[in-house]
Structures are given as C-alpha cells and as structure tokens.
Amino acid sequence: MVRSLWTGASGMIAQQNAIDTISNNLSNVNTTGYKKETVEFKTLLYSKLQTKTTDANGDPKPVIGQVGAGVRTASITSRYSQGNLLSTENNLDFAIEGEGFFQVRLEDGSIAYTRNGAFSLSMGTEGLTLCNSDGYPVIGTDGEPIVFANTIDSSRISVDDSGRFWYRNLDDKITSLNKSFGLVQFQNPSGLLKLSGSLLSATDASGEPRMEAMDTAIKKSKVLSKRLEGSNVEAVDEMVNLIVAQRAYEMNSKVITASDEMLQQANNLRS
C-alpha cells in the first residue's frame, strides 16, 4: 500500500507536467511561429514479487510477477510542423514555407534562430537594419546583418521565394539589393533550446545549422512576403488533451485516497 501511494503521486506529478505543457500551448495559440509541445512518459523501475519463477513442481512459470513503481516525464518534444500562413499588409512581414529558420544576432554576438518573420527597419549610422521586434538584426547569407542604404524607400522592397531582396525604382525598374536571408536548417529541430521571444538556440541535440544557400543536399525553403506563420497549435486538440490529463490526474489522486483509507483500516485492526 505504501508503494501505491508513491505510484499515485508519480502519476499526479507526470499529469501536472502534461497540464502545464498544454496550458503553454493554449496560451501561445496566436503567437507567430510558435511550435506546440507534447509530453511523453515512461514507466519507472519494476519490482519482482517473487525471486523464483517456478511452481511447486519446479517447472518454470509462464509469467513472472512484477509490479511497477509509477510513471515519469520522459521528454517534452516540440513539433515543427507547418503553421497556417496568415496574410498581412506589412511589406516587412515574412513567412517560411519549409523547414528553414531565420537567423538573428543577439546582444552578446551569438546567433539565435526563429520562425517569426515579423521584421522592421531600424535607423542607424550605417543605414537601415532589418531587425526583429526586439531589435536584434537579421543575418544574411554572408553572415552579416542585412543593412540597406538610408536613401531607399522600404515600401519598394520586395523578396522573392528564395529570400533575395529586390528594389523597385521610381521608373518601376527592379534591381537587386545584393541581400538575401541566411536561412538555415537543422538535422533535429526538436533538439533546439527555446529562448524567450520566439527565439531558439542550437544545441548538441539539434546539430549544427546547415546553410540552405550552401548545402545542396537539403530541400530549400520558400520565403513568402506579406505573410506570417501562425502557431501550429490546434485549440480543439489541446482542449481534448487537457480533459484527458485532468481525468488521469483525478484517477491518480483517487489511488492515493484509496491507499490512505486501506492503511487507516489496517491501523485500526484489533487483535
């Protein structure tokens, strides 16, 4: 009965982690570029109830007696499926169709990755720098921030499917700005470390970033202008998962209550 107390407690803790993950998914249902997370469980160690697995005649039993010790959270995995493409009127909104990521440079000089393409232009001494909502510059294929001349009109900037920037002059002549997005891919995007602000960091689990412009072995992503990628969270599915997790939490709490009542009855026995 003491074992059942700890088993029920492990189940409640695991289901609480599931509810926490589901609530985070629901809270980010409208976050641009957010990727939903799912919780995976695994069983804890098993104990043998019998040291020998033979019957009274010494013959092996067809089954052995084992009892489990509960459950624990094995992993919380991000699912990098394509989100809905939402149309916007902003000329500097971009969405990725494919498995690529935008690169941005953080304050400490390190590189972070994101699927959130809500960018803007920041005025500086060197020109107009393309940056995200936090002011971090967006990195191009040359490994440097994407900077335009101060004299250009941002409303005349366009981007083709491959992520190259073009400019339409006053005479409607289109010329190249010699800039392009430095899109990267990862062998295991689920291994990326999530930071704040829809930013991601590379880890040993995710592998090193692979530059799409230089790696011919990967399928190239498409960049869509005046689009943003919505989250891939399905609110209905998350609500169903929330109900399932809540019921499992209640069942584990009933296990603890039943075990407590049985222990109380055992303590009240009189010889």
The predicted pLDDT at position 216 comes to 86
Q: Residue 266, CB half-sphere, CA atoms under 13 Å: how many?
A: 8
Residue 137 has pLDDT above 80, yes or no: yes
| Better pLDDT: 46 or 175 | 175
**Hey, what amino acid is at 209?**
P
Secondary structure of residue 208 in the 3-state scheme: coil
Encode pLDDT of 147-174 as tens digits: 998 888 888 899 999 999 999 887 888 8
The predicted pLDDT at position 254 comes to 94
Residue 197 has pLDDT above 60, yes or no: yes
Secondary structure of residue 238 in the 3-state scheme: helix
The predicted pLDDT at position 63 comes to 72
Q: pLDDT band for position 182 (50/70/90)?
A: very high
Residue 1 has pLDDT above 70, yes or no: no
- For the chain, what percent of residues have pLDDT higher than 90? 69
Q: What is the dihedral of CA 249, 253, 255, 261, to 10 degrees?
A: -170
Residue 4 has pLDDT above 90, yes or no: no
Q: Report how far Cα 10 is from the mean position of its chain's Cα atoms.
A: 25
Average pLDDT, the chain: 90
Q: pLDDT band for position 129 (50/70/90)?
A: very high
CA distance 181 to 111: 14
CA distance 237 to 55: 49
The model carries a pTM of 0.84
Q: Residue 221, CB half-sphere, CA atoms under 13 Å: how many?
A: 24
Q: pLDDT band for position 59 (50/70/90)?
A: confident
Residue 271 has pLDDT above 70, yes or no: no
Largest CA distance in the chain: 104
Q: Which residue has the tokens 């982690």?
A: 17
Q: pLDDT band for position 270 (50/70/90)?
A: low
Residue 103 has pLDDT above 90, yes or no: yes
Closest Cα partner for 76 from 116, 115, 35, 114? Answer: 35
Average the pLDDT over 57-73 and give the result: 80
